[in-house]
Structure 1
Amino acid sequence: MGKHRPNALQWVWYTFGGKLPAHLSEWVLHDVTCRTWVLRHLLRALTQLTPLCVAVLLLPGPLYIRASSMVLGLLVGLFYSMSAMVETNEHRLIKHGHAPGIGRETRAIHRDLRRTTREEARRRRQGH
């Protein structure tokens, strides 16, 4: 990954679907293809859902109804976000100038490399 990362405001903009400056496109590729890409996607989804949760909690009415509504909304929102996570991340990459399919290809390369590294380490341990 390059030296450039988005600042806090840029990250929030990016989280809500905004396009980052061109010098951050390498970071976007890292963001959606690194080992923790699923957790990063989950964090972006929770960030997007936070304003709605706050709004529900500020509504009048019994706290247990507001809290249960918020939890149900979070579960539904996270379900839909996670079910479309691969496509959403591919769209982010295309928006930032990367070729279609590069996210899946890069994640597959990383996965194969980790698998090969683990297998080589296991062979070395067994050989000694």
Structure 2
Amino acid sequence: MRPGALRWVAYAMGAGLPERHRTWVLYDTTTRTWVLRHVARALVQLAVPIALVLVFVPGAFWIRGLAALGGLILGMAFSLAYMTEAVENRVKKAGYAPGSAQAVRDLAGRDRDARDSERRRAAAAKRAARYRARRGG
């Protein structure tokens, strides 16, 4: 069950979700787009300090803008550097064992690789059959 917008913002800021959202947290951290979802959560977290810098720090706007941009770049670098750890912490908060998200992603990756391999094998066989048919063999 997907959380509502306000609950998602709280989740993005680091709050835990109720038990009924437990499976959604695992899905959120293991789906194919889990990296993009992590980036979205990180941007939500960084929005507050960036807005505070832009609004309340005295000085020319271009200086505040560059300070905010520098903070955004550093914040995103830090967030991306510790992405897997942050995701595992979210999964642990939801009640799963540490390493669960990585295990699910690894399993999905193996399944995806097997499907891709089979698809490529079938395409190669089809090309080989076309080649043999053209060659008269």
Question: Offset of 1:100 from its aligned partner?
Answer: 1.3
Match for 1:40 among 13, 37, 40?
Answer: 37
Q: Which residue of 1 aligns with 2:121?
A: 123
In structure 1, how many angstroms separate the alpha carbons of the residues matched to 2:119 and 2:22? 33
Q: Which consecutive residues of structure 1, in runs of 5 or more, have no partner in the other structure?
A: none
Deviations 1:38-71 (A, max 9, x none): 1100000000000111111112211111110000
Q: Which residue of 2 aligns with 1:85?
A: 83
Q: Which residue of 1 aligns with 2:67?
A: 69
The reply to whether residue 111 of structure 1 matches residue 91 of structure 2 is no
Q: Which residue of 1 aligns with 2:131?
A: none
Deviations 1:81-109 (A, max 9, x none): 11111111111111111111111111111
Q: Which residue of 1 aligns with 2:53?
A: 56
In structure 2, how many angstroms separate the alpha carbons of the residues matched to 1:101 and 1:68? 38
Match for 2:11 among 9, 14, 21?
Answer: 14
Q: TM-score, normalised by structure 2?
A: 0.88
Q: TM-score, normalised by structure 1?
A: 0.94
Report the RMSD for the aligned CA atoms in angstroms.
Answer: 0.8
Q: Which residue of 1 aligns with 2:27?
A: 30
Question: Offset of 1:11 from its aligned partner?
Answer: 0.3
Higher radius of gyration, 1 or 2: 2
Question: Offset of 1:125 from its aligned partner?
Answer: 1.1
The reply to whether residue 101 of structure 1 matches residue 99 of structure 2 is yes
In structure 1, how many angstroms separate the alpha carbons of the residues matched to 2:100 and 2:15? 20
Question: Offset of 1:24 from its aligned partner?
Answer: 0.6
